[in-house]
Structure 1
Amino acid sequence: MSCSTCDLVYYQNVAAAVAVILKKDDKILFTVRNKEPKKGMLDLAGGFTDPDESAERTCQREIEEELGITIPIENFNYFLSRPNDYEYKGIPYKTCDLAFVADFPDEEIILEKEEIADVKWISIKDIKLEEIGFDSLRSVVENYIKTL
């Protein structure tokens, strides 16, 4: 979009978001979405990056907010990124989902029930990719499994 009067051009840039593969033994922690989009489907803990926030800090903050656990920022290891289409209240957003991997710290999970209905520890061999809500995260998990 552009303005013919002032020559301003509006570029719709992507929003940065993170997803964290929390692993323990041969299992990955999945969240179950409690809100649209993709309510009831599997997800990875994570969310949108705030202004002036690094991706690693976003991982840490989102894990604290969603699961009530604290992981040191240096424990988040970048894995890969995938583009995503995220529709919220009828508005499509283009995101770049940055995936990280971290070990689960053996703390008690305290769910943020507004966003997360439940958590599920799923063994790598039992993961059903079609149950993961977003294409980007399905690709992340599939690629992660291939690296093992």
Structure 2
Amino acid sequence: MQPIFKFCPNCKGDHLEYPHGSKIVCPDCKFEYYHNTAGATAVIIQKKDEILFTIRNKEPQKGYLDLPGGFIDANETAEYGSFRELQEELNISIDKSKLQYIDSYPNTYLYKDILYNTIDLFFFYKDDNLSIIDFDPDELKGVVWKKLSEIDFDEIAFESHKKTLKKLMKI
């Protein structure tokens, strides 16, 4: 594990140990911190025979294609996190009861020089009448609809997204 802290958040000691996995220990005051996996969601939105992709406007993977979604906040379900993220990123409201769980994959997300381990939970949502007329320009450069057969996996930001899309396509 890469160092996350230079000093102990409790006693300010500078002798932190990383004994295994995600555990960080201060031998001076016995402080323990677990840098656990963060939950994230992504929604494969289908309209007729096309899938919605967002174009990332932030690192990591700025300019790459992404599925709409994001990190799950404390005390949120994955379904509600998906709903909230779609509202924030695309200014759309969906019917949460129509979200269909697909699968999950571990992933990593480098943010401000800290590597986060994530568990990405994927959902499917179909709406042939969905219209995207707005998006958050801080988060996204834009949106694009693509047929499954038109997807170039080299343009997709994250491996977990590629795996789920390939599973959906049965490649």
Normalising by structure 2, report the TM-score. 0.81
Identity %: 43
Normalising by structure 1, report the TM-score. 0.92
Aligned with 1:134 (options 136, 158, 170): 158
The equivalences for 1:85-124 within 5 A come to 85-104=108-127, 106-109=129-132, 110-124=134-148
Q: CA RMSD in A?
A: 1.5
Rounded to whole Å, the distance in 2 between the matches of 1:7 and 1:91 is 23
Residues 71 and 105 of structure 1 are in contact (CA less than 8 Å); yes or no, is this contact kept in structure 2?
Answer: no
What secondary structure is seen at the aligned counterpart in 2 of 1:69? coil
Write the deviation string for residues 60-80 of structure 1: whole angstroms up to 9, x where unpaired. 011111111110111111100
Larger Rg: 2
Correspondence for 1:31: 54
The runs of 5 or more residues in structure 2 that have no matched partner are: 1-23
When the two structures are aligned, how many residues end up with a matched partner?
147
How far 1:56 moved relative to its partner?
A: 0.1
**What is the identity, as a one-letter code, of the residue corresponding to 1:72?**
D
Distance verdict in 2 for CA 1:49–1:82, change over 3 Å: same
Q: Which has the higher contact order (CA 8 A, sep 6+)?
A: 1
How far 1:85 moved relative to its partner?
A: 0.8
Rounded to whole Å, the distance in 1 between the matches of 2:35 and 2:113 is 17
Residues 108 and 116 of structure 2 are in contact (CA less than 8 Å); yes or no, is this contact kept in structure 1?
Answer: yes
Write the deviation string for residues 92-126 of structure 1: whole angstroms up to 9, x where unpaired. 11100000000136243211111011111000111
Runs of 4+ in 1 over 4 A off after TM superposition: 5-8
